[in-house]
Amino acid sequence: MVKICCIGAGYVGGPTMAVIALKCPSIEVAVVDISVPRINAWNSDQLPIYEPGLDAVVKQCRGKNLFFSTNVEKHVREADIVFVSVNTPTKTQGLGAGKAADLTYWESAARMIADVSKSDKIVVEKSTVPVKTAEAIEKILTHNSKGIKFQILSNPEFLAEGTAIQDLFNPDRVLIGGRETPEGNKAVQALKDVYAHWVPEDRILTTNLWSAELSKLAANAFLAQRISSVNAMSALCEATGADVTQVSYAVGKDTRIGPKFLNASVGFGGSCFQKDILNLVYICECNGLPEVAEYWKQVIKINDYQKNRFVNRVVSSMFNTVSNKKIAILGFAFKKDTGDTRETPAIDVCKGLLGDKARLSIFDPQVTVDQIQRDLTMKKFDWDHPLHLQPMSPTTVKQVTCVWDAYEATKDAHGICILTEWDEFKNLDFKRIYDNMQKPAFVFDGRNIVNVDQLREIGFIVYSIGKPLDAWLKDMPAVA
């Protein structure tokens, strides 16, 4: 029986390994982590992450051929294939701070693998890493190996949170990079054999190591670039009276462009896009390519611009002050169908409004009060460096309440900001909400999910990103 061990039981390690266990009953899969609460949660009825379909997959395999454990060394020692799916955050200090990937967690995992191994192993990079990381890992492993042979493969993960199980069941492609040597090819084939249990062969792509590593960074950069492109257009639409939904529909009908990832919004979030682009920028700079670095940096600048623009729009529409006004925040997760708040635009928008002394009442169906308060008091990048967490600021906590119902959040509010596109927000009783709000009542839709005409009919002043402006908003000072 082939044994797989995955180091890192996070958003990637947990779901990917659960699906491998489900699709390959003949393979034993152990997912290990140094975090005891995380492993305890994986072994309980309340999994540590919310992901549609995940509970069912885990329930089917856990205890049969899928195990979650903190006994990292034992499971690594016994495995034939070791996936490494630890976090690779942006460095906060030292060389490359604010851009380069922090490979501390990766390096310590690699040293541990070398330490405890007693048999040859295939080590798979599942985390997103800078190009040439495999070479560094190879050096760590071979210099500490006591004669044991390691083959390094790059197998980046392309799943999207919120649709992870679907994406894993039916991936557009699985990418495996390896050394172009007989041993390298053999290792690639062994990993291909795992995926071949359910992925059609023509969707399993093999490349050299560096292409696989770079393809993941490139894919995320391209996806984020589409969002920044349509968001840049949304600002122009507001200035000209065009409607961004109509523009992106027309643009996306071109088969060379395609319709996906063209929704204007308050900005992209999540743990990957910004971190991976910053990493790409750093790699370009290190390779003497400042123009290329500058090009990709712009994707992040537009994203920051979009979040600022949104905050400015809220404040300027409400007579240039939100001081002591109650603003309801509907949605805090970085997208629907996940409880993940890493780099969510809601953090920047809420901080912007708190900066103008607003009182916030926040509702998200999947994000806990503790998480929201932690996010609003953390410094940038702290979220992925648990050791550096700052204590909560009492002032911020006082200005923020978290509630478990959209109607409660909006009661007596002056304005509503929709920051996550949860389906349940589309079907709210907006007449009831309007009746219970202060007047004039504002809706700022950062995800373009409400029916603008219907809400205006009820009496709301509505701002929806990239849509023709309400007469009210046109009269307000210009937003930069």
Q: Does 113 bind ligand NAI (CB under 6 A)?
A: no
Q: Which of 33, 102, 167, 238 binds ligand NAI (CB under 6 A)?
A: 33
Contact track, ligand NAI, 392-411, x by CB under 6 A: --------------------
Of 105-113, 316-324, 344-352, 416-424: span binding ligand NAI (CB under 6 A):
105-113
- Token digits for 397? 């906590």
The strand pair at 150-154 and 174-178 is best described as: antiparallel
Residues between 199 and 258 with contacts to ligand NAI, criterion CB under 6 A: none
**Residue 5 falls in the annotated catalytic set:** no
| 295 marked among binding-site residues | no
| 340 marked among binding-site residues | no
Binding residues for ligand NAI, how many (CB under 6 A)? 26
| 9 marked among binding-site residues | yes
Q: Which of 11, 67, 310, 332 binds ligand NAI (CB under 6 A)?
A: 11
In the complex with ligand NAI, the residue whose CB is nearer, 13 or 331, is 13
Q: Does 157 bind ligand NAI (CB under 6 A)?
A: yes
- Smallest separation, CB 157 to ligand NAI (Å): 4
- Smallest separation, CB 136 to ligand NAI (Å): 15
- Smallest separation, CB 13 to ligand NAI (Å): 6
Q: Does 35 bind ligand NAI (CB under 6 A)?
A: yes
Q: Does 125 bind ligand NAI (CB under 6 A)?
A: no
| 464 marked among binding-site residues | no
| 38 marked among binding-site residues | yes
Q: Given 24, 272, 350, 417, which residue is catalytic? A: 272
Q: Does 300 bind ligand NAI (CB under 6 A)?
A: no
Residues between 69 and 98 with contacts to ligand NAI, criterion CB under 6 A: 72, 85-88
Q: Does 15 bind ligand NAI (CB under 6 A)?
A: no
Q: Does 68 bind ligand NAI (CB under 6 A)?
A: no
Of 103-111, 349-357, 373-381, 398-406: span binding ligand NAI (CB under 6 A):
103-111
Indicate which residues carry an active-site annotation: 272
Residues that bind ligand NAI (CB under 6 A): 7-13, 33-35, 38, 72, 85-88, 105, 108-109, 127-128, 157, 159, 161, 271-272
**Residue list, annotated binding site for NAD(+):** 8-13, 33, 38, 86-90, 127-128, 161, 272-275, 342
Binding residues: 8-13, 33, 38, 86-90, 127-128, 161, 272-275, 342
